[in-house]
Protein backbone atom coordinates (compact mmCIF):
# COMPACT_ATOMS: atom_id res chain seq x y z
CA UNK A 1 0.00 0.00 0.00
CA UNK A 2 2.79 2.40 0.87
CA UNK A 3 4.32 1.93 -2.54
CA UNK A 4 1.17 3.18 -4.19
CA UNK A 5 1.12 6.28 -2.03
CA UNK A 6 4.75 7.23 -2.07
CA UNK A 7 6.69 7.46 -5.27
CA UNK A 8 10.05 7.54 -3.58
CA UNK A 9 11.52 7.03 -0.15
CA UNK A 10 12.03 10.72 0.52
CA UNK A 11 8.79 12.34 -0.44
CA UNK A 12 7.72 12.26 -4.04
CA UNK A 13 4.40 13.61 -5.15
CA UNK A 14 1.28 11.55 -4.36
CA UNK A 15 -2.47 11.93 -4.30
CA UNK A 16 -3.55 14.85 -2.16
CA UNK A 17 -4.95 14.04 1.29
CA UNK A 18 -4.20 10.29 1.28
CA UNK A 19 -1.37 10.59 3.87
CA UNK A 20 -3.80 12.38 6.19
CA UNK A 21 -5.55 9.06 6.76
CA UNK A 22 -2.54 6.74 7.08
CA UNK A 23 -2.69 4.37 10.04
CA UNK A 24 -0.31 5.52 12.81
CA UNK A 25 2.16 2.68 12.33
CA UNK A 26 2.44 3.29 8.58
CA UNK A 27 2.84 7.02 9.19
CA UNK A 28 5.59 6.45 11.75
CA UNK A 29 7.39 4.16 9.34
CA UNK A 30 7.43 6.94 6.76
CA UNK A 31 8.47 9.50 9.37
CA UNK A 32 11.43 7.43 10.59
CA UNK A 33 12.66 6.69 7.08
CA UNK A 34 12.45 10.34 6.16
CA UNK A 35 13.98 11.52 9.43
CA UNK A 36 17.03 9.37 8.85
CA UNK A 37 17.36 10.64 5.29
CA UNK A 38 17.01 14.31 6.24
CA UNK A 39 19.51 14.03 9.11
CA UNK A 40 22.01 12.34 6.76
CA UNK A 41 21.47 15.08 4.20
CA UNK A 42 21.92 17.91 6.70
CA UNK A 43 24.98 16.20 8.21
CA UNK A 44 26.62 15.83 4.82
CA UNK A 45 25.85 19.34 3.57
CA UNK A 46 25.36 21.82 6.43
CA UNK A 47 28.48 22.67 8.41
CA UNK A 48 26.73 24.15 11.43
CA UNK A 49 24.62 21.02 11.87
CA UNK A 50 27.56 18.65 11.36
CA UNK A 51 29.64 20.51 13.96
CA UNK A 52 26.85 20.35 16.51
CA UNK A 53 26.36 16.63 15.87
CA UNK A 54 30.11 16.00 16.16
CA UNK A 55 30.24 17.92 19.46
CA UNK A 56 27.62 15.56 20.82
CA UNK A 57 29.32 12.47 19.40
CA UNK A 58 26.33 11.82 17.12
CA UNK A 59 26.22 10.59 13.54
CA UNK A 60 23.19 10.07 11.29
CA UNK A 61 23.36 6.39 12.25
CA UNK A 62 22.54 7.39 15.84
CA UNK A 63 18.92 7.81 14.75
CA UNK A 64 17.36 4.38 15.13
CA UNK A 65 13.87 5.29 16.25
CA UNK A 66 11.62 8.36 16.16
CA UNK A 67 12.29 8.85 19.89
CA UNK A 68 15.98 9.39 19.10
CA UNK A 69 15.05 12.77 17.65
CA UNK A 70 15.33 14.20 21.16
CA UNK A 71 19.12 13.73 21.07
CA UNK A 72 19.51 16.01 18.05
CA UNK A 73 20.59 19.63 18.52
CA UNK A 74 18.01 22.43 18.17
CA UNK A 75 18.10 25.02 15.40
CA UNK A 76 17.08 28.58 16.31
CA UNK A 77 16.30 31.79 14.44
CA UNK A 78 19.69 33.34 15.19
CA UNK A 79 21.32 30.38 13.39
CA UNK A 80 19.68 31.65 10.20
CA UNK A 81 20.84 35.21 10.89
CA UNK A 82 24.37 34.14 11.82
CA UNK A 83 24.76 32.16 8.59
CA UNK A 84 23.07 34.83 6.43
CA UNK A 85 22.33 34.55 3.59
CA UNK A 86 22.94 30.97 2.39
CA UNK A 87 24.85 29.20 5.19
CA UNK A 88 22.20 26.59 6.02
CA UNK A 89 21.53 25.49 2.45
CA UNK A 90 21.98 21.77 1.81
CA UNK A 91 21.71 22.04 -1.98
CA UNK A 92 23.95 23.79 -4.49
CA UNK A 93 22.43 27.01 -5.84
CA UNK A 94 22.03 25.30 -9.22
CA UNK A 95 19.34 23.09 -7.61
CA UNK A 96 17.60 25.98 -5.85
CA UNK A 97 14.65 27.26 -7.88
CA UNK A 98 13.22 29.76 -5.36
CA UNK A 99 14.28 32.03 -2.51
CA UNK A 100 11.97 33.71 0.00
CA UNK A 101 12.85 35.93 2.93
CA UNK A 102 11.22 37.11 6.07
CA UNK A 103 12.16 40.45 7.54
CA UNK A 104 11.33 39.70 11.14
CA UNK A 105 11.37 42.61 13.53
CA UNK A 106 15.06 43.36 13.79
CA UNK A 107 18.26 43.16 11.79
CA UNK A 108 19.02 40.98 8.81
CA UNK A 109 16.24 39.08 7.07
CA UNK A 110 16.24 35.33 7.14
CA UNK A 111 16.51 33.63 3.77
CA UNK A 112 14.89 30.31 2.86
CA UNK A 113 15.40 28.14 -0.23
CA UNK A 114 13.45 25.57 -2.23
CA UNK A 115 14.45 22.98 -4.81
CA UNK A 116 11.96 21.93 -7.45
CA UNK A 117 10.95 18.98 -5.23
CA UNK A 118 10.49 21.33 -2.26
CA UNK A 119 8.12 23.47 -4.32
CA UNK A 120 6.18 20.31 -5.23
CA UNK A 121 5.89 19.27 -1.60
CA UNK A 122 4.86 22.81 -0.68
CA UNK A 123 2.16 22.82 -3.39
CA UNK A 124 0.95 19.45 -2.11
CA UNK A 125 0.69 20.47 1.53
CA UNK A 126 -1.07 23.68 0.52
CA UNK A 127 -3.48 21.69 -1.67
CA UNK A 128 -4.13 19.50 1.39
CA UNK A 129 -4.58 22.67 3.45
CA UNK A 130 -7.28 23.97 1.12
CA UNK A 131 -8.92 20.53 0.88
CA UNK A 132 -8.99 20.44 4.68
CA UNK A 133 -10.89 23.76 4.64
CA UNK A 134 -13.49 22.28 2.27
CA UNK A 135 -12.18 23.65 -1.04
CA UNK A 136 -12.08 21.67 -4.26
CA UNK A 137 -11.79 21.96 -8.01
CA UNK A 138 -14.36 24.48 -9.16
CA UNK A 139 -13.78 26.87 -6.27
CA UNK A 140 -12.74 30.39 -7.19
CA UNK A 141 -10.02 31.39 -4.77
CA UNK A 142 -9.07 35.03 -4.27
CA UNK A 143 -5.52 35.01 -2.95
CA UNK A 144 -5.02 38.22 -0.98
CA UNK A 145 -1.86 37.07 0.81
CA UNK A 146 1.05 39.26 -0.23
CA UNK A 147 3.04 38.04 -3.23
CA UNK A 148 6.77 38.60 -3.06
CA UNK A 149 9.39 37.59 -0.56
CA UNK A 150 6.62 36.72 1.95
CA UNK A 151 5.72 33.04 1.59
CA UNK A 152 1.94 33.54 1.89
CA UNK A 153 1.15 34.66 -1.65
CA UNK A 154 3.08 32.16 -3.75
CA UNK A 155 2.52 29.31 -1.27
CA UNK A 156 -1.26 29.68 -1.50
CA UNK A 157 -1.07 30.29 -5.24
CA UNK A 158 0.68 27.02 -6.07
CA UNK A 159 -1.47 25.07 -3.61
CA UNK A 160 -4.72 26.46 -5.02
CA UNK A 161 -3.66 25.52 -8.54
CA UNK A 162 -2.50 22.06 -7.44
CA UNK A 163 -5.94 21.50 -5.95
CA UNK A 164 -7.54 22.49 -9.24
CA UNK A 165 -9.20 25.67 -7.96
CA UNK A 166 -9.24 28.86 -10.02
CA UNK A 167 -6.75 31.20 -8.37
CA UNK A 168 -7.02 34.99 -8.56
CA UNK A 169 -3.53 36.33 -7.72
CA UNK A 170 -4.64 39.72 -6.44
CA UNK A 171 -2.11 39.93 -3.54
CA UNK A 172 -2.74 42.26 -0.59
CA UNK A 173 -4.03 45.83 -0.77
CA UNK A 174 -6.40 47.89 -2.91
CA UNK A 175 -9.38 46.92 -0.81
CA UNK A 176 -12.07 48.38 -3.03
CA UNK A 177 -10.81 46.32 -5.95
CA UNK A 178 -10.71 43.22 -3.72
CA UNK A 179 -14.39 43.68 -2.95
CA UNK A 180 -15.29 44.36 -6.56
CA UNK A 181 -13.64 41.09 -7.64
CA UNK A 182 -15.25 39.07 -4.84
CA UNK A 183 -18.57 40.22 -6.26
CA UNK A 184 -17.89 40.27 -10.02
CA UNK A 185 -15.87 37.03 -10.26
CA UNK A 186 -18.25 35.01 -8.05
CA UNK A 187 -15.43 34.28 -5.64
CA UNK A 188 -16.21 31.31 -3.37
CA UNK A 189 -13.08 31.31 -1.18
CA UNK A 190 -10.62 33.92 -0.06
CA UNK A 191 -7.32 33.79 1.80
CA UNK A 192 -5.44 36.55 3.59
CA UNK A 193 -4.48 37.55 7.13
CA UNK A 194 -7.45 37.70 9.51
CA UNK A 195 -6.73 41.35 10.29
CA UNK A 196 -6.86 42.28 6.61
CA UNK A 197 -10.15 40.46 6.21
CA UNK A 198 -11.73 42.39 9.10
CA UNK A 199 -10.80 45.49 7.13
CA UNK A 200 -12.40 44.10 3.95
CA UNK A 201 -15.57 43.31 5.85
CA UNK A 202 -15.73 46.86 7.17
CA UNK A 203 -15.07 48.41 3.75
CA UNK A 204 -17.69 46.20 2.06
CA UNK A 205 -20.24 47.51 4.52
CA UNK A 206 -19.28 51.11 3.70
CA UNK A 207 -19.68 50.35 -0.01
CA UNK A 208 -23.10 48.93 0.75
CA UNK A 209 -22.12 45.45 -0.38
CA UNK A 210 -23.45 42.63 1.76
CA UNK A 211 -20.85 39.84 1.60
CA UNK A 212 -23.41 37.45 3.05
CA UNK A 213 -25.42 37.65 -0.15
CA UNK A 214 -22.47 36.71 -2.39
CA UNK A 215 -21.23 33.18 -3.25
CA UNK A 216 -18.22 33.63 -0.91
CA UNK A 217 -18.40 30.65 1.48
CA UNK A 218 -14.95 29.99 2.95
CA UNK A 219 -12.17 32.16 4.36
CA UNK A 220 -8.70 30.74 4.97
CA UNK A 221 -6.75 32.87 7.40
CA UNK A 222 -3.33 32.74 9.01
CA UNK A 223 0.13 34.28 9.39
CA UNK A 224 -0.79 36.00 12.69
CA UNK A 225 -2.64 35.11 15.89
CA UNK A 226 -6.39 35.70 15.99
CA UNK A 227 -8.96 34.78 18.58
CA UNK A 228 -12.28 32.96 18.36
CA UNK A 229 -13.90 36.35 19.02
CA UNK A 230 -12.52 37.65 15.74
CA UNK A 231 -13.52 34.39 14.04
CA UNK A 232 -17.14 34.83 15.17
CA UNK A 233 -17.12 38.45 14.00
CA UNK A 234 -15.80 37.49 10.56
CA UNK A 235 -18.16 34.53 10.15
CA UNK A 236 -21.21 36.57 11.09
CA UNK A 237 -20.33 39.65 9.05
CA UNK A 238 -19.32 37.81 5.87
CA UNK A 239 -21.55 34.73 6.11
CA UNK A 240 -18.60 32.35 5.69
CA UNK A 241 -16.76 29.58 7.52
CA UNK A 242 -13.40 30.96 8.69
CA UNK A 243 -10.49 28.50 9.00
CA UNK A 244 -7.11 28.91 10.64
CA UNK A 245 -3.95 27.81 8.83
CA UNK A 246 -0.42 27.86 10.21
CA UNK A 247 3.10 27.88 8.91
CA UNK A 248 6.41 29.72 8.98
CA UNK A 249 9.06 30.60 6.42
CA UNK A 250 11.82 28.61 8.10
CA UNK A 251 9.82 25.38 7.77
CA UNK A 252 8.19 25.94 4.36
CA UNK A 253 5.76 28.89 4.62
CA UNK A 254 2.01 28.27 4.95
CA UNK A 255 1.11 24.57 4.69
CA UNK A 256 2.43 23.22 8.00
CA UNK A 257 -1.00 22.77 9.64
CA UNK A 258 -4.64 23.54 8.90
CA UNK A 259 -8.04 23.31 10.53
CA UNK A 260 -10.72 21.01 9.17
CA UNK A 261 -14.51 21.26 9.22
CA UNK A 262 -14.46 20.49 12.96
CA UNK A 263 -12.63 23.82 13.59
CA UNK A 264 -11.09 22.17 16.61
CA UNK A 265 -7.31 22.26 16.29
CA UNK A 266 -5.07 22.29 13.24
CA UNK A 267 -4.00 19.04 11.57
CA UNK A 268 -0.24 18.99 11.14
CA UNK A 269 0.97 17.50 7.86
CA UNK A 270 3.27 15.34 9.90
CA UNK A 271 4.42 13.14 7.05
CA UNK A 272 6.50 16.23 6.14
CA UNK A 273 6.78 18.17 9.42
CA UNK A 274 7.52 16.30 12.63
CA UNK A 275 6.21 18.17 15.69
CA UNK A 276 7.47 18.14 19.27
CA UNK A 277 6.48 20.26 22.25
CA UNK A 278 9.25 21.36 24.60
CA UNK A 279 9.55 23.36 27.78
CA UNK A 280 10.80 26.71 26.42
CA UNK A 281 13.01 27.27 29.47
CA UNK A 282 14.71 23.89 29.78
CA UNK A 283 14.40 22.56 26.22
CA UNK A 284 13.07 19.26 27.61
CA UNK A 285 10.36 17.47 25.59
CA UNK A 286 6.94 17.66 27.27
CA UNK A 287 4.53 14.74 27.46
CA UNK A 288 1.46 14.49 25.18
CA UNK A 289 -1.10 17.25 25.61
CA UNK A 290 1.11 19.64 27.61
CA UNK A 291 1.46 23.24 26.48
CA UNK A 292 4.90 24.43 25.43
CA UNK A 293 7.02 25.61 22.52
CA UNK A 294 6.43 23.96 19.16
CA UNK A 295 9.57 22.45 17.62
CA UNK A 296 9.44 21.20 14.04
CA UNK A 297 11.74 18.98 12.00
CA UNK A 298 11.25 19.05 8.24
CA UNK A 299 11.18 15.46 7.05
CA UNK A 300 11.44 16.02 3.31
CA UNK A 301 13.00 19.45 2.71
CA UNK A 302 15.94 19.32 0.32
CA UNK A 303 17.32 22.83 -0.10
CA UNK A 304 17.10 23.82 3.55
CA UNK A 305 16.34 21.03 6.01
CA UNK A 306 15.45 22.29 9.47
CA UNK A 307 16.28 19.95 12.30
CA UNK A 308 14.38 20.56 15.55
CA UNK A 309 13.60 24.18 14.70
CA UNK A 310 12.38 26.17 17.70
CA UNK A 311 9.40 28.12 16.42
CA UNK A 312 8.81 30.21 19.59
CA UNK A 313 5.10 29.54 19.03
CA UNK A 314 3.28 28.22 22.08
CA UNK A 315 0.72 25.44 21.65
CA UNK A 316 -0.07 21.86 22.61
CA UNK A 317 -0.72 18.69 20.63
CA UNK A 318 -4.15 17.12 20.70
CA UNK A 319 -3.86 13.38 20.94
CA UNK A 320 -7.53 12.39 20.75
CA UNK A 321 -8.84 11.42 17.29
CA UNK A 322 -10.60 14.11 15.27
CA UNK A 323 -14.23 13.81 14.18
CA UNK A 324 -13.10 14.28 10.55
CA UNK A 325 -11.46 10.84 10.69
CA UNK A 326 -7.94 11.91 9.89
CA UNK A 327 -5.08 10.21 11.67
CA UNK A 328 -2.50 13.02 11.47
CA UNK A 329 -2.24 14.81 14.80
CA UNK A 330 -3.57 18.26 15.61
CA UNK A 331 -2.19 21.26 17.45
CA UNK A 332 -4.20 23.90 19.25
CA UNK A 333 -4.38 27.36 17.69
CA UNK A 334 -1.34 29.52 18.34
CA UNK A 335 -2.42 32.22 20.75
CA UNK A 336 1.02 33.51 21.59
CA UNK A 337 4.74 33.37 20.96
CA UNK A 338 7.21 32.99 23.76
CA UNK A 339 8.80 36.28 22.64
CA UNK A 340 5.74 38.51 22.35
CA UNK A 341 5.10 38.64 26.07
CA UNK A 342 5.56 41.84 28.04
CA UNK A 343 5.42 42.46 31.76
CA UNK A 344 3.18 45.13 33.23
CA UNK A 345 3.42 45.67 36.99
CA UNK A 346 4.79 42.17 37.37
CA UNK A 347 2.03 40.54 35.33
CA UNK A 348 2.86 38.62 32.14
CA UNK A 349 0.71 39.87 29.29
CA UNK A 350 0.23 38.47 25.78
CA UNK A 351 -1.46 40.57 23.05
CA UNK A 352 -3.94 37.77 22.31
CA UNK A 353 -5.28 37.99 25.87
CA UNK A 354 -6.04 41.65 25.29
CA UNK A 355 -7.85 40.78 22.05
CA UNK A 356 -9.92 38.12 23.81
CA UNK A 357 -10.88 40.62 26.54
CA UNK A 358 -11.88 43.29 24.01
CA UNK A 359 -13.86 40.98 21.76
CA UNK A 360 -15.87 39.69 24.74
CA UNK A 361 -17.58 43.09 25.00
CA UNK A 362 -20.35 43.99 22.59
CA UNK A 363 -19.85 47.29 20.75
CA UNK A 364 -16.10 46.91 20.21
CA UNK A 365 -14.57 46.40 16.78
CA UNK A 366 -11.63 44.09 16.02
CA UNK A 367 -9.33 47.07 15.51
CA UNK A 368 -7.09 47.81 18.45
CA UNK A 369 -3.56 48.65 19.43
CA UNK A 370 -1.53 48.19 22.57
CA UNK A 371 0.83 51.03 23.37
CA UNK A 372 3.70 50.39 25.74
CA UNK A 373 5.59 53.24 27.40
CA UNK A 374 8.03 53.51 30.30
CA UNK A 375 7.95 56.11 33.03
CA UNK A 376 10.26 56.14 36.02
CA UNK A 377 11.44 52.61 35.20
CA UNK A 378 7.87 51.28 35.19
CA UNK A 379 6.30 49.82 32.07
CA UNK A 380 2.82 51.11 31.29
CA UNK A 381 0.25 49.82 28.90
CA UNK A 382 -2.57 51.63 27.16
CA UNK A 383 -5.16 49.98 24.94
CA UNK A 384 -6.72 51.90 22.10
CA UNK A 385 -9.82 50.25 20.69
CA UNK A 386 -12.40 51.26 18.14
CA UNK A 387 -16.06 51.06 19.07
CA UNK A 388 -19.05 50.98 16.72
CA UNK A 389 -20.50 54.26 15.41
CA UNK A 390 -23.68 53.50 17.39
CA UNK A 391 -21.74 53.58 20.65
CA UNK A 392 -20.21 56.90 19.67
CA UNK A 393 -23.45 58.50 18.56
CA UNK A 394 -25.05 57.26 21.77
CA UNK A 395 -25.09 59.29 24.94
CA UNK A 396 -21.98 59.85 27.05
CA UNK A 397 -23.47 57.24 29.35
CA UNK A 398 -23.23 54.63 26.56
CA UNK A 399 -19.53 55.34 26.18
CA UNK A 400 -18.89 55.24 29.90
CA UNK A 401 -20.83 52.01 30.14
CA UNK A 402 -18.75 50.25 27.50
CA UNK A 403 -15.55 51.61 29.03
CA UNK A 404 -16.50 50.10 32.37
CA UNK A 405 -17.31 46.75 30.79
CA UNK A 406 -14.02 46.73 28.87
CA UNK A 407 -12.05 47.60 32.00
CA UNK A 408 -13.78 44.75 33.82
CA UNK A 409 -13.16 42.29 30.99
CA UNK A 410 -9.45 43.18 30.85
CA UNK A 411 -9.13 42.98 34.61
CA UNK A 412 -10.80 39.59 34.62
CA UNK A 413 -8.42 38.17 31.99
CA UNK A 414 -5.17 39.97 32.80
CA UNK A 415 -5.66 40.73 36.47
CA UNK A 416 -4.62 44.36 36.06
CA UNK A 417 -6.20 47.70 35.20
CA UNK A 418 -4.91 49.44 32.08
CA UNK A 419 -5.48 52.81 30.46
CA UNK A 420 -8.31 52.51 27.93
CA UNK A 421 -8.87 54.83 24.98
CA UNK A 422 -12.10 54.37 23.05
CA UNK A 423 -11.79 55.73 19.55
CA UNK A 424 -14.03 56.12 16.52
CA UNK A 425 -13.97 53.66 13.61
CA UNK A 426 -10.99 54.19 11.27
CA UNK A 427 -8.77 55.81 13.86
CA UNK A 428 -6.32 52.90 13.95
CA UNK A 429 -4.21 52.16 10.88
CA UNK A 430 -5.47 49.15 8.88
CA UNK A 431 -3.07 46.45 7.76
CA UNK A 432 -2.97 44.64 4.43
CA UNK A 433 -0.77 41.90 5.85
CA UNK A 434 0.18 41.11 9.42
CA UNK A 435 -1.33 43.63 11.83
CA UNK A 436 0.94 45.58 14.16
CA UNK A 437 -0.85 45.19 17.48
CA UNK A 438 1.84 46.42 19.82
CA UNK A 439 3.53 49.83 19.60
CA UNK A 440 6.50 49.66 21.87
CA UNK A 441 7.74 53.11 22.93
CA UNK A 442 9.55 51.89 26.02
CA UNK A 443 13.00 52.63 24.69
CA UNK A 444 12.20 55.96 23.05
CA UNK A 445 13.54 59.21 24.50
Count CB-CB contacts under 10 A for residue 34. 22
By CB under 6 A, the count of residues binding ligand DLL is: 20
Contacts of ligand DLL in 65-84 (CB under 6 A):
none
- For ligand DLL, the closer of residues 32 and 296 by Cβ is 296
- Closest to 113 (Cα-Cα) out of 281, 4, 252, 308: 252
**What's the CA dihedral at 31, 35, 41, 46 to 10 degrees?**
130
Q: Give residue number: closest CB to ligand DLL.
A: 222
Least gap, CB of 254 to ligand DLL (angstroms): 4
Q: How far apart are CA 111 and CA 269, in angstroms?
A: 23
Q: Is 140 exposed, middle or buried (0-12, 13-18, 19+ CB in 10 A)?
A: buried
182 contributes a contact to ligand DLL by CB under 6 A = no
Backbone angles phi, psi at 424, to 5 degrees: -75, 160
Least gap, CB of 333 to ligand DLL (angstroms): 6
- For ligand DLL, the closer of residues 122 and 145 by Cβ is 145
- For ligand DLL, the closer of residues 10 and 259 by Cβ is 259
Contacts of ligand DLL in 118-157 (CB under 6 A):
145, 151-152
Least gap, CB of 101 to ligand DLL (angstroms): 9
Backbone angles phi, psi at 172, to 5 degrees: -85, 160
Least gap, CB of 334 to ligand DLL (angstroms): 4
Contacts of ligand DLL in 218-257 (CB under 6 A):
222-225, 244-249, 253-254
Q: How far apart are CA 152 and CA 159, in angstroms?
A: 11
Least gap, CB of 169 to ligand DLL (angstroms): 14
- For ligand DLL, the closer of residues 89 and 246 by Cβ is 246
User: What is the three-class DSSP state of 383?
Assistant: strand
Least gap, CB of 152 to ligand DLL (angstroms): 4
Alpha helices per DSSP H over 367-415 = 389-393, 396-414
The residue within the footprint of ligand DLL, chosen from 20, 313, 386, 432 (CB under 6 A), is 313
Side-chain half-sphere of 136: how many Cα atoms within 13 Å?
2
Give the footprint of ligand DLL on this chain (CB under 6 A). 102, 145, 151-152, 222-225, 244-249, 253-254, 311, 313, 334, 337
Amino acid sequence: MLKELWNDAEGGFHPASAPDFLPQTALQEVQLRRLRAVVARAYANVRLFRERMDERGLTPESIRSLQDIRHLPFTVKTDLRDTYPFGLFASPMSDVVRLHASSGTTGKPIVVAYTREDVEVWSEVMARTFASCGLHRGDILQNAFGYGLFTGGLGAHYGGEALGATVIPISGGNTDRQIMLIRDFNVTALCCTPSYFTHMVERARELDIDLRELPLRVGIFGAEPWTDGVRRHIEAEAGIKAYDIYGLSEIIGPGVAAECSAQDGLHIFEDHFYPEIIDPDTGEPLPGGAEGELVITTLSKKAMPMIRYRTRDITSLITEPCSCGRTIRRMRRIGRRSDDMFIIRGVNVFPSQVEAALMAVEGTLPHYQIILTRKGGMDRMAVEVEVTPEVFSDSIRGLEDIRARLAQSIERILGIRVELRLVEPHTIARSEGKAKRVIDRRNEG
